[in-house]
């Protein structure tokens, strides 16, 4: 890939993560901790789990851009993909999840800004399934999917639509 294309890819990643951050912030605005724990019909995950899951994924994204994850190893356990429901006693306080989202956004943007464009085509680890850039693009897509879920969960909590 030409260097200009890779630089554009980093720029696109910064744009998408910024847009996701804006959508998430709008969707979680005015929600309380109690709102975040409402379990929708059919046992879907509550907003607290969805936002925590976004942050759990951002920890890996931060590693990919050479930034420090926001949580210590093991803190993400209640929010891992495939976890069996969120125990309200293990749920992080809603306001702390929102603060952590803002902190990860700053780190993610800083890391993307400093990332050497040549690293986007390289795998971050020997056993990685895809190059770093493709992994980051997938993670941005995955985050956007969950940002939309937060919009629906906002409505489940009785709040008006925000986007």
pLDDT value, residue 4:
43
Residue owning tokens 């803190």: 75
Closest CA to 18 of 86, 106, 91: 106
What is the set of domains in the chain, with CATH numbers?
3-156 (1.20.120.450)
pLDDT in tens, 109-148: 999 999 998 999 999 999 999 999 999 999 999 999 999 9
Model pTM above 0.85: yes
pLDDT in tens, 20-39: 999 999 999 999 999 999 99
pLDDT value, residue 93:
97
* Cα–Cα distance for residue pair 60/81, rounded to 1 Å: 13
Q: What is the 3-state secondary structure (H, E, C) of 70-112?
A: CCCCCCCHHHCCCCCCCCHHHCCCHHHHHHHHHHHHHHHHHHH
CB 6 within 8 A of CB 120: yes
Closest CA to 18 of 125, 157, 143, 127: 143
* Cα–Cα distance for residue pair 6/117, rounded to 1 Å: 5
CB 23 within 8 A of CB 147: yes
pLDDT value, residue 3:
46
pLDDT in tens, 55-103: 999 999 999 999 999 998 888 888 988 777 899 999 999 999 999 999 9
User: What is the distance between the terminal CA atoms of the chain, rounded to a whole angstrom?
Assistant: 36
Range list of H helices, the chain: 3-28, 33-36, 47-64, 94-114, 132-156
């Amino acid at each position: 890939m030409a260097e200009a294309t890779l630089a554009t890819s980093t720029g696109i990643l910064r744009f998408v993560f910024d847009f996701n951050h804006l959508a998430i912030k709008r969707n979680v605005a005015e929600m309380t901790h109690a709102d975040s724990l409402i379990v929708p019909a059919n046992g879907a995950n509550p907003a607290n789990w969805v936002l925590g899951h976004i942050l759990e994924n951002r920890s890996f994204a931060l590693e990919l851009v050479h930034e420090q994850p926001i949580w210590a190893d093991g803190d993400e356990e209640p929010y891992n993909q495939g976890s069996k429901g969120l125990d309200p006693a293990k749920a992080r306080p809603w306001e702390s999840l929102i603060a952590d989202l803002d902190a990860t956004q700053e780190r993610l943007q800083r890391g993307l800004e400093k990332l050497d464009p040549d690293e986007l085509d390289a795998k971050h680890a020997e056993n990685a399934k895809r190059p770093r850039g493709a992994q980051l693009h997938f993670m941005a897509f995955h985050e956007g999917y969950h940002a939309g879920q937060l919009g629906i969960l906002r409505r489940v909590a009785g709040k008006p639509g925000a986007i």
